């Protein structure tokens, strides 16, 4: 044994104690002695022993009682009985109390060492057995823990996971893939994983996975393809398939991961639409400006000062529309960044409403559009950012004018309503159809139709309005009928302090 062997000799005869101690010390053992069972018991409580030599007949506490207590403290200690009353009955009684062996007195060193050798071998084997059992239990716990961790990780993943063995049977899947692919009947009647071709319903998805089972499929190859799942709302999945090989390179199956990229595809489409829309909106005014300037610089327009001035004014008007486009884009990007610093103050919206309407009256005269303001003498105050309120009214009144008809009318009303300040902008214009109405606050959305063909815009105006309103904890509503006009109503919360 690698560690020192501790032996305790318990006997009321000093000669036996000392004789055993000398023999055992000469063999390299660590030996303690005790003259009775009570003293020996205290020593066992304070120090671990591998083997104890116990005399049966001792004062204070006998050997059998000592053995009872020792077995309770450490059942693995080897107990060897030494006694001068060697009978069959005493031997049997000692064995019942946990004795390993029995040495009758008198005995010689060889007898003592032979019995101790066998007992210590048993002790060593017992300790090794216990260590192996603990190691086995620990490994089983570790395996169970790793398996539990693996299942927890796989089940918690947002991406779908599907593992298929070489027999094309499903052996592992997670809730995400069940929801994503609507995988049903994952096991057959015998409880064995179902063939993945029966569990999956879409053929192009099955074809992607079957590529990994091809003999030509390399163990280092990873297949990555997009698959569109049919349904009421089609979904686009990024499917990644990799083969699983053992150390000999034999195919064990495949691992498939599925990621729903429908949102990314939608964003890509929106970006593409935006780029096309911006390019279209920019190209027309830039082409017009370039044409006017070329005509002026080359002299094609002639020398009439009045005509040349008209061309330059048209070029300026086109440049102004480009500036509006750029400003809308910058403002939208600013609101999207969530880093807007608002300087909120208590505002009387009367001045902002009247100022915005006066600004558009000049432009409205070219379309014969009339403007009306219907507000009480005094409006309750709201806490808001003045610049954003001006932008909000500008966008709404601008839309009311652009989508109005000749000799149309724009009316701005405001007043207190319960806990809100209600501001409405109504027009008598072309109106919005029921199909387009739910989408008008979406980014870059523009109503398509013959009446809007020549109306410029980025499709960001109403989206900006909605973001401003929501940032001030308000709401916006819209009512519209084709050919009769549209009403936008903004409701901004009032503060109790407004009454002061």
Check residue 2 and give its pLDDT: 53
Query: Does the pLDDT of residue 136 top 70, yes or no?
Result: yes
Of 4 and 375, more confident: 375
For the ranges 128-142, 192-206, 249-263, which has the lowest average pLDDT? 128-142
Listed range (129-133, 186-190, 298-302) with the worst mean pLDDT: 186-190
- Band (142; pLDDT cuts 50, 70, 90): low
Q: Are 50 and 7 in contact (CB under 8 A)?
A: yes
pLDDT at position 187 is: 57
Confidence band of 449 (pLDDT split at 50, 70, 90): low
User: Which CATH architecture fits 157-260?
Assistant: 2-Layer Sandwich (3.30)
- For residue 153, what are the CA distances in angstroms to 13, 145, 160? 68, 12, 12
Instruction: Write down the pLDDT at residue 183.
Output: 73
Q: Which has the minimum average pLDDT: 112-126, 233-247, 357-371?
A: 357-371
Residues 6+ apart with CB under 8 A from 47: 6, 32
Residue 291 confidence (pLDDT): 83
The pTM score is 0.45
CATH 3.30.565.10 in the chain, residue ranges: 344-499
27-31, 436-440, 464-468: the lowest-pLDDT one: 436-440
In the predicted model, what is the mean pLDDT of residues 30-54? 91
**pLDDT, average across residues 348-364:** 85
Report which of 211, 243, 216, 215 is spatially closest to residue 227, judged by C-alpha positions. 211
Q: How far is CA 190 from CA 167, 174, 185, 194, 253, in A?
A: 15, 21, 12, 10, 21
Task: Please state which CATH class domain 6-132 belongs to.
Answer: alpha beta
Where is average pLDDT lowest: 75-84, 312-321, 348-357?
A: 312-321
Q: Is the pLDDT of residue 57 over 90?
A: no
The answer to whether the beta carbons of residues 500 and 440 sit under 8 Å apart is no
Our measurement of the distance from residue 16's CA atom to the centroid of its chain's CA atoms, rounded to an integer in Å, reads 75
pLDDT confidence of residue 498? 41
* pLDDT for residue 1: 43
- CATH architecture for residues 265-336: Orthogonal Bundle (1.10)
Which of 399, 384, 372 lies closest to 458 in space, CA to CA? 399
**Which part of the chain has CATH 1.10.287.130?**
265-336
The pLDDT of 105-122, averaged and rounded, is: 88
Locate CATH 3.40.50.2300 in the chain: 6-132
CATH architecture of 344-499: 2-Layer Sandwich (3.30)
């Amino acid at each position: 044994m690698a560690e020192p062997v501790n032996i305790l000799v318990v006997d009321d005869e000093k000669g036996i104690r000392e004789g055993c101690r000398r023999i055992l010390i000469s063999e390299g053992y660590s030996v303690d002695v005790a003259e009775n069972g009570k003293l020996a018991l205290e020593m066992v409580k304070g120090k671990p022993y591998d083997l104890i030599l116990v005399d049966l007949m001792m004062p204070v506490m006998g050997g059998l009682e000592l053995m009872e207590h020792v077995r309770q403290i450490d059942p693995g200690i080897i107990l060897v009985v030494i006694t001068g009353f060697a009978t069959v009955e005493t031997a049997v009684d000692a064995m019942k109390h946990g004795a390993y062996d029995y040495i009758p007195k008198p005995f010689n060193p060889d007898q003592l060492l032979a019995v101790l050798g066998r007992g210590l071998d048993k002790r060593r084997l017992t300790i090794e057995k216990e260590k192996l059992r603990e190691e086995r239990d620990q490994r089983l716990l570790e395996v169970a823990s790793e398996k539990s961790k693996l299942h927890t990780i796989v089940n918690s993943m947002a991406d779908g996971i599907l593992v298929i063995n070489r027999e094309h049977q499903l052996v592992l899947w997670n809730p995400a893939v069940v929801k994503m692919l609507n995988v049903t009947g994952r096991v057959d009647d015998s409880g064995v994983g179902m063939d993945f071709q029966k569990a999956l319903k879409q053929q192009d998805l099955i074809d992607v996975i079957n590529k990994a089972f091809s003999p030509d499929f390399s163990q280092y190859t990873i297949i990555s393809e997009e698959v569109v799942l049919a349904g009421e709302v089609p979904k686009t999945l990024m499917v990644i398939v990799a083969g699983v090989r053992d150390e000999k390179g034999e195919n064990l199956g495949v691992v498939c991961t599925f990621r729903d990229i429908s949102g990314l595809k939608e964003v890509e489409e929106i970006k593409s639409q935006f780029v096309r829309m911006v390019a279209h909106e920019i190209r027309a005014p830039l082409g017009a400006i370039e044409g006017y300037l070329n005509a002026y610089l080359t002299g094609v327009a002639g020398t009439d000062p009045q005509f040349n001035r008209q061309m330059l004014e048209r070029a300026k008007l086109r440049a102004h529309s480009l500036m509006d486009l750029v400003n809308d884009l910058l403002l939208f990007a600013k609101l999207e960044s969530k880093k807007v610093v608002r300087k909120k103050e208590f505002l009387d919206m009367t001045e902002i409403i009247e100022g915005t309407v006066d600004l558009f009256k000049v432009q409205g005269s070219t379309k014969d559009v009339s403007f009306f303001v219907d507000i009480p003498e005094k409006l309750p105050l709201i806490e808001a950012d003045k610049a954003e309120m001006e932008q909000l009214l500008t966008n709404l009144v601008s839309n009311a004018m652009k989508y109005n008809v000749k000799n149309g009318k724009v009316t701005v009303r405001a007043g207190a309503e319960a806990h809100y300040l209600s501001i409405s902008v109504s027009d008598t214009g072309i109106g919005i159809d029921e199909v387009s109405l739910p989408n008008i606050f979406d980014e870059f959305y523009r109503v398509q139709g013959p009446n809007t063909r020549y109306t410029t815009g980025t499709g960001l105006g109403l989206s900006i309005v909605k973001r401003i309103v929501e940032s001030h904890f308000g709401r916006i509503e819209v009512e519209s009928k084709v050919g009769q006009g549209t009403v936008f109503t903004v409701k901004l919360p009032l503060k109790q302090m407004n009454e002061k």
